[in-house]
Amino acid sequence: MEKKYLLKILILVIVVLLIIFGIKILNKPKGQKEVSLEEINALLEKGDSITNYKCEVDSNGVKTIIQHKDKKEKIEASTADQTKVIVYNDYEKEEGILLSEEKKTAIKYNNILDDTHVLKKQKEELDEVLKKCKTGEYSYKYIGEEKIRNEDCIVIEISFEYQTNGGYDFNGELSKYNGETITNKIWINKEHGVIEKIENNFSNIKTTAEFNYEYNNVTDEDVQLPDLSDYNFIEV
């Protein structure tokens, strides 16, 4: 009698699971086609025309505000312990200044590596990743579409095996992860071609970075160097 009762319960559970699974299949968005690597590349090209933006970045407790207008840029970064640094980049002059307001110190540096703004650097890095997907070195997967802060996004997943490749190993602390899979889930804005969110999973550790963009509201004053007459200058 007890066995028959347990069997009925088991059958009921299986039926319920089949119903739930069936509902999920029926609710799958119709007409949603795969998005190819070429289409992702074309989507990213939209970001090339953006020259005026403000981006608030939240990455695991580190808050960064980037304001960019034409060839000038201001970056404010604050860590969890409220340490704050401000960077002014002038890509036309190929120079930048890093400020510590607390210590009244300004570090001036020349020869900015890339004559491009932060948004384009982000795009270039993803372009390199997509190239490795095309060669089979990395794996590419189209996930679907989701909204981030009411923005329509394409969601993709990039995964690859971690290898130290002969670099500095910190006494074996890095090579012990060789062979483990790194997975990056990336949300790309459909209208503007910018990255809205990155979720990284590696060795059971998840890190997330979100990028909240506003467009065409940065003024010349926003990216203008302040009066630094009372600062100590260091050139590097």
Return the DSSP state at 104: T
Q: For residue 144, give Cα distances in angstroms to 30, 42, 96.
A: 12, 17, 40
Q: How confident is the model at residue 178 (pLDDT cuts 50, 70, 90)?
A: confident
Q: Secondary structure of 147-162 in the HEC alphabet? A: EECCEEEEEEEEEEEC
Burial of 196 (0-12, 13-18, 19+ CB in 10 A): buried
* Residue 205 reports pLDDT greater than 60: yes
Average pLDDT of the chain is 81
Phi, psi of 41 (to 5 degrees): -60, -45
The fraction of the chain above a pLDDT of 70, given in percent, is 77
Query: Residue 152 and residue 65: Cα distance in Å, rounded?
Result: 22
Q: What angle do CA 202, 198, 112 make, to 5 degrees?
A: 105
pLDDT for residue 77 = 86
Region 210-223: mean pLDDT is 96
Region 77-97: mean pLDDT is 83
- Unique residue bearing structure tokens 């997967």: 141
Residue 178 CA neighbour count, 13 Å, CB half: 10
Q: What angle do CA 63, 221, 193 make, to 5 degrees?
A: 55
Burial of 111 (0-12, 13-18, 19+ CB in 10 A): exposed
pLDDT for residue 169 = 57
Torsion of CA 8, 10, 11, 17, to 10 degrees: 140
Return the DSSP state at 81: T
* Residue 8 reports pLDDT greater than 70: no
Four-residue CA torsion sign, 129, 134, 135, 140: positive
pLDDT for residue 179 = 81
Domains and CATH numbers, the chain: 41-215 (2.50.20.10)
* Helix, strand counts (H, E) of the chain: 3, 12
Cβ pair 154, 40 in contact under 8 A = yes
Q: What angle do CA 182, 41, 52 make, to 5 degrees?
A: 100
Q: How confident is the model at residue 196 (pLDDT cuts 50, 70, 90)?
A: very high
